[in-house]
Chain A
Amino acid sequence: LAKTTQPISMDSYEGQEVNITCSHNNIATNDYITWYQQFPSQGPRFIIQGYKTKVTNEVASLFIPADRKSSTLSLPRVSLSDTAVYYCLVGSSNTGKLIFGQGTTLQVKP
């Protein structure tokens, strides 16, 4: 299963767009990518999931290039409440194994 790598931390300001990239160089054909958000002392919360190209929902977009070796979570117009840790997860449809990245701590400043 693909090893995942994310930046440890990022800073942003309210109202800006934030892009967090996860590298998964050894991703397999049937692996899928999911992103989660976690606040302190809470369980992770699902944000978005995709397999290839672009997926958008009401809170975020997920961009996956053709080679699928990375994925980028895009958060439009962040607010202070978006300060959290963001995890990418690569899952295998074949084996069911799941690998989380080490998480990116996003700090949104006023």
Chain B
Amino acid sequence: DSGVTQTPKHLITATGQRVTLRCSPRSGDLSVYWYQQSLDQGLQFLIQYYNGEERAKGNILERFSAQQFPDLHSELNLSSLELGDSALYFCASSVGRESYEQYFGPGTRLTVT
């Protein structure tokens, strides 16, 4: 158990809909990262927040957004969903601003039908 929690575990929704994925980092970790993992694209870095502020952006689509709240939990919002958004979404956390050692959550499996 990494100490990172993600909800929900599974999510099935229709195209065009909007969903919110939630992540709670390990106690004491200030950074939260979001990743998308699909069979054809592998592990893709989406975005990092450090202590409430956006620190780095990766291949995050404009339809996706994230935030980190004062209690350090984070949410990833996916809107106007397309079939191609079906994937595993992982959240990870680390102590500091740099991602030297990240702890990953169990993931949320999103299926868009």
**Distance A46 CA – B104 CA, assembled complex (angstroms):** 9
Number of residues of chain A lying within 8 A (CB) of chain B: 22
Is B107 in the interface zone, CB < 8 Å from A?
Answer: yes
Interface mask (A79-110 → B, CB under 8 Å = 1, otherwise 0): 00000000100010101111111110000000
A42-B37 Cα distance, complex, nearest whole Å: 11
Q: Is A49 an interface residue (CB 8 A)?
A: yes
Interface contact B45-A46, CB-CB below 8 Å:
no
Q: What 1/0 flags go to B38-54 for Cβ under 8 Å of A?
A: 00001111001000000
Tally of A-B residue pairs with Cβ under 8 A?
62
Check A97 against B58 for contact (C-beta < 8 Å): yes
Measured CB to CB, the residues of A under 8 A from B are: 32, 34, 36, 41-46, 49, 87, 91, 93, 95-103
15 further A-B pairs in the complex, CB-CB below 8 A; given A93-B98, A96-B98, A98-B45: A34-B99, A34-B100, A42-B106, A42-B107, A43-B2, A43-B106, A44-B90, A49-B100, A49-B101, A91-B98, A96-B48, A96-B56, A97-B57, A100-B45, A103-B43
Jot down 21 A-B pairs with beta carbons below 8 A, ordered by A.
A32-B100, A34-B99, A43-B4, A43-B90, A43-B104, A44-B90, A44-B102, A45-B2, A46-B103, A93-B98, A96-B55, A96-B56, A96-B97, A96-B98, A97-B58, A98-B33, A99-B45, A100-B42, A100-B44, A101-B42, A103-B42
